[in-house]
Each structure stands twice: as structure tokens, then as C-alpha cells.
Amino acid sequence: MDNKKLAEMLFKDNKLSVEEIEKKYPKRKLSAGAEVTRFAPSPTGFMHIGGFFQCIIDRNIAKKSGGVFYLRIEDTDKKRELIGASTIILETLRRYGYTPDEYEEKGVRVVGEYGPYFQSEREEIYKAYAKKLVEEGKAFPCFCRKTEGLNDVKEKREKMFALGITEDKDPCRNLTVEQIEEYFKDNKPFAIKLKSKGNGQGKIKVNDVLKGEIEIQENGEDAVLLKSDFMPTYAFAHAIDDHLMGTTVVVRGEEWIPSYPLHIEIHEALGFSLPKYIHTPLINKIRENGGKTKISKRIDAEADMRFFAKEGYEPKALIEYLTNLANSNFEIWRKNNPNADVDEFPFDGFNITANRPVFDIVKLNDISKDIISRYSAETCYQKLLAWAKEFSGENVAYLEKDKDYVLKVLNIDREKEKPRKDIFKWSMVLDYYDYMFSAPKSYQIEEADRKRFEEVLRSYKSHINLTDKDAWFGSIKDMAKELGYATDNKEYKLNKEKFKGNVAKVCEFLRVAVTGHKDSPDLFEIMSILGKEKVLERISLIV
């Protein structure tokens, strides 16, 4: 039996031919230099921060070259699939303003002409290409599990090695026509495997945009292309899809580098040209022992992109932070362009400097503080409310009812030339400003200061003046003098023993009485918003 007949026998139920398929997926009409990228996650769980890192690169490459960024769900392994995972992925992308140019939302919409965008719906396509490879003698059926009473390839190989056959090739590639026909008649399940041309010994040079030329072991494995349920493996499916969907740049994790030679061999067997590949480094975290290990689903809350949504991080902050991880020039650029949109940063997705990026939440918080400090009070209010509606329902009614008051609170130290940089996520706002909503539950005061603290508060009852900032501070100074505190810092430093402290200490006492904390945004603004009555009420709780 020749290969053509063999292919006919194995794929007698195929509905599509390669020619028909190629016609359905014409070359994309894009301008010169436009790149097509894809995010191709397996829907096995939540969206990982490493996946989102790749999306930033994907999207920048497509956007800045005038190309296309599409989403392809690689759901051929039904055993590992988690229901709802593809929805989480799309929702995450939307939240960040990264809605792909092409994607499919099951039962809702398909955007784009190159679908289906779920691999599980492309079975006929993979079968057509598998048939073609069998026809061309580049692939063969493997009946391993059921043949010769052997359980798997490993066992079969061991037997071959015992017989002195050391070539790392699948024995099924040598089945006789009669054997195949017989197995087939017996309805023995079979997989389709690549007839690898390599021997797995030599080295080949492969290209990666980020790492340059890499020398790596060639492929020698007769790898599975279609499993016995006729679902494709990742290696086979992605090669076909990237070809048909016109992908020009594959951005994926560096864990794929070892199987890159196999992928190249599959592309060659199929007669496809190779897209560019960018293998991105994994994102690490510094551990307590000082070591670096990759961010892990099991131990790191930040591995799951939903963590940032729940905490109320600004999407822009995440994008900026991860862009900064991808390209180390970001920080200087941001310094020189404090108000520019992150999209203006010259990052085309290819100029990645990341080596072993380390995720540092403190850095993310700083970036986030910076962004939020530039928002108006109204913007903050809208974002806080939107966050509460999604994640903190118990606060919505209050936020809506007392909008004016909340706006005043949010405006403390805001909308000025040098706004205070303190808020970095919406979930912290109500706690952070708890003293604006109720009296402090505890006071940051040392026992040694207790007497002076109470003395200041007692006296302030008759000195409070909230007319304006000058009057407010003027009367604090008057009171400080009366009580024996210095109002001139130089004088205080020269003759500390002559004073009970300086006026700054007096302000600290007042701040602690009103807010509970030694540190807070502008105390005059806080007192003014609370109003004279409330401030006095708070003082009366203490003295």
C-alpha cells in the first residue's frame, strides 16, 4: 500500500482538504511591516501574570506596527480545561483595554475572519494536514498502546534497546502495510506521529528575537501530532494555526525553548515558513531566603491577575509596571514625561531588555501612587465607586449617598502642583481615610508624651480657628508659645532645654488627636472638612 492509500484509509472521514482550507484562510492584507501576534493560552485556570506580560509584548508589536493582535484559545486538552477560564482571560484583557482585534466569545460573538478561535473547533483542519503528512510519508500511524502487548512507547523503546536498536525512533514507523491494515481492521486506536528526520544527537542553530541565535539539540523524536482521539498536540496545532491565521511573531514563555527544534521540524514538514519567535523569561520573585524563583500559582496571590482587580489596582499601573519590567528605559522616560500616556513610551514589543524580571509589589505600588496622585478627585471617586460595585458592595450605598463628602476627602492634598502620593489601590481608600468617617479607635502616642499631649489638647479647645490656613496655623503658634514650645526651629535647636518641644510637636499632637496617626495628609484640610464641631468632639474624647 502506498502512502496515499494509507492516508485514505486512516482519514476516510475527513471533511476538508488542505487546498480547501488554504483557500479559506487567505493571506492577510496588511501594510508592509505590520506584524500579527497572538495570545494563545490554554484555558486551564486563571490568567497568570506571566501571560499578561506576554500580552503587553504581543499587543505593542501589533499596535505599533499597524498589525493585528488576536486571541486563540488552545483548548484541545479537555482533561485539563477549566470551565470559564476562557471567559476570565477575555475579561482580564478587556479590563486592561487590551481587547484583541480578533477573538471569539462563546455564544456571543466572533470578531475576525480567521476563526474559529477555539482550537477544539478546528479539528477538521488538523486532520487535513495530518492526512497530507501521511500522504507525503512524513507522518505515520502509531498503534503503541495496543500493539504487542506493550503499554507505552517507553516500554517499547526499552525492548528495542535490549535488542540493540539504539535509534531513538518510534518502532511503529516500521510497521508493515499488512500489520497496519490488520490493526486498522481490528479498530485499534492509533495516533499520528511525525517521522522525524533528525537523530536527536546533533546541534542546530535556532533564532529567537530576544536571545539571538541559540544552539540547541536537534529534534529526533517521532512526536505525536494527533492523539488517538484525533485531537492535536500543541506542537502540531500551533504550527498549523499560526500559519493559517497569519501569525508573524510568536510570543511565548521560554519553557518552550527545548521543544522549539521539534516545532521547527513540524513547520518544515508542513512546508510552512517560520514566524519570528520571542521566548519571554519567566517572572520571578525574591524569596525570604534571598533566592529568586518564578512567581507561582500555588504560593503567590499576584500570579493571578484577578488579585489586582480585587485589590483595586489601576489597570494602567499594572501595564506601566510590566512595561517597565520588559524595558528598563521606562523609568527614565517616565521621569522625563510624567504626564504622558504609557503608549507613548517607545516600546515596540521587540526592544525587550528583561533578563530575569523580578516582580516587586513595592515598585508597582509606587507607580500606582504616581498615577493615582494625578487623578482629579472626581476621577478617583468614579473609580473607587466602580471598584466598590464590583468587589465591595457593602460600601456602595454610602459612597453614593455621601458623594460630596467623599469627594472632599478624596481631594485632600490632591489637584495641586505636588499632590500627595499615597493611595495605590482603591481597596485601601476607606481604611486609609477611616478617621474622616469616624473617630480614631487608637492613638499613636507614647506614654512619655501623654501629659504634654493632653495639655495641648485642653488648650486647643480655646484656640481652634479654621478660618483659613494662615489663621489656623497662627493660632496654633500662639498656643505653642503660651505653653512653652518654640515656634522658631533654629532657636529651638540652639536651646532645646528651654522648651517643651517645638511647634511641630504641637501639630503632631493635634494630628494624633484628630486622625489617630502621627502622619497624615494636610491637617488643616482634614480639620476643615471635619469641621470645628467634630474636631472639638474628637478632642473631648481624650481630655
Residue 149 neighbours by CB under 8 Å, 6+ apart: none
The span from the CA of 439 to the CA of 291, in Å, is 44
Minimum distance, C-beta of residue 89 to ligand GLU, in the bound complex (Å)? 10
Stretch that binds ligand GLU, among 34-42, 205-213, 437-445, 496-504 (CB under 6 A): 34-42
Minimum distance, C-beta of residue 339 to ligand GLU, in the bound complex (Å)? 35
Instruction: Transcribe 450-518 into DSSP letters.
Output: HHHHHHHHHHHTTT---SSHHHHHHHHHHHHHHHT-BSSHHHHHHTGGGSS-BHHHHHHHHHHHHHSSS
Minimum distance, C-beta of residue 371 to ligand GLU, in the bound complex (Å)? 30
Closest CA to 535 of 519, 518, 517, 511: 511
Residue in the structure block whose three cell numbers are 508542513: 270
Closest CA to 517 of 431, 409, 426, 391: 431
C-alpha count within 13 angstroms, C-beta hemisphere, residue 492: 15
The four Cα atoms 277, 345, 319, 281 give a dihedral, to 10 degrees, of: 30
Q: Binding ligand GLU by CB under 6 A: which of 40, 224, 326, 380?
A: 40
Alpha carbon of 450 to those of 341, 481, 494, 519: distances in Å?
49, 19, 25, 18
Helix/strand/coil (H/E/C) assignment for every residue in 261-328: HHHHHHHHHHCCCCCEEEEECCCEEECCCCCEEECCCCCCHHHECHHHHHHCCCHHHHHHHHHHHHCC
DSSP H or E segment with residue 104: strand 103-105
Closest CA to 322 of 295, 290, 297, 288: 295
The span from the CA of 522 to the CA of 365, in Å, is 21
Q: Binding ligand GLU by CB under 6 A: which of 59, 122, 132, 252?
A: 252
42 binds ligand GLU (CB under 6 A): yes
Backbone angles phi, psi at 286, to 5 degrees: -80, 130
Stretch that binds ligand GLU, among 37-45, 174-182, 302-310, 318-326 (CB under 6 A): 37-45
238 binds ligand GLU (CB under 6 A): yes
Rg (CA), the chain: 33
Task: Name residues contacting ligand GLU, limited to 442-471 (CB under 6 A).
Answer: none
* Closer to ligand GLU by Cβ: residue 234 or 391: 234
* Closer to ligand GLU by Cβ: residue 254 or 455: 254
* Closer to ligand GLU by Cβ: residue 131 or 267: 267
74 binds ligand GLU (CB under 6 A): yes
Site size toward ligand GLU, by CB under 6 A: 8
The partner residues of 103 in beta bridges, in order of sequence, read 111
Minimum distance, C-beta of residue 41 to ligand GLU, in the bound complex (Å)? 5
* Closer to ligand GLU by Cβ: residue 138 or 252: 252
Minimum distance, C-beta of residue 265 to ligand GLU, in the bound complex (Å)? 16
Minimum distance, C-beta of residue 238 to ligand GLU, in the bound complex (Å)? 5
89 binds ligand GLU (CB under 6 A): no
Task: Name residues contacting ligand GLU, limited to 282-321 (CB under 6 A).
Answer: none
* Closer to ligand GLU by Cβ: residue 262 or 342: 262
* Closer to ligand GLU by Cβ: residue 42 or 520: 42
Minimum distance, C-beta of residue 307 to ligand GLU, in the bound complex (Å)? 20
Within its chain, how far is the Cα of 199 from the centroid?
Answer: 39
279 binds ligand GLU (CB under 6 A): no
Stretch that binds ligand GLU, among 39-47, 145-153, 300-308, 405-413 (CB under 6 A): 39-47
Stretch that binds ligand GLU, among 38-46, 279-287, 387-395, 461-469 (CB under 6 A): 38-46
Burial 327-344 (b: 16+ CB within 10 A, else e): beebeebbeeeeeeebee
* Closer to ligand GLU by Cβ: residue 131 or 252: 252
The span from the CA of 156 to the CA of 145, in Å, is 9
Minimum distance, C-beta of residue 271 to ligand GLU, in the bound complex (Å)? 20
Minimum distance, C-beta of residue 236 to ligand GLU, in the bound complex (Å)? 12
Minimum distance, C-beta of residue 174 to ligand GLU, in the bound complex (Å)? 32
Closest CA to 314 of 254, 354, 369: 369
- Site mask for ligand GLU (CB under 6 A), range 188-227, x = bound: ----------------------------------------
Q: Binding ligand GLU by CB under 6 A: which of 6, 41, 183, 352?
A: 41
Minimum distance, C-beta of residue 21 to ligand GLU, in the bound complex (Å)? 20
**Where does this chain bind ligand GLU (CB under 6 A)?**
40-42, 74, 234, 238, 250, 252
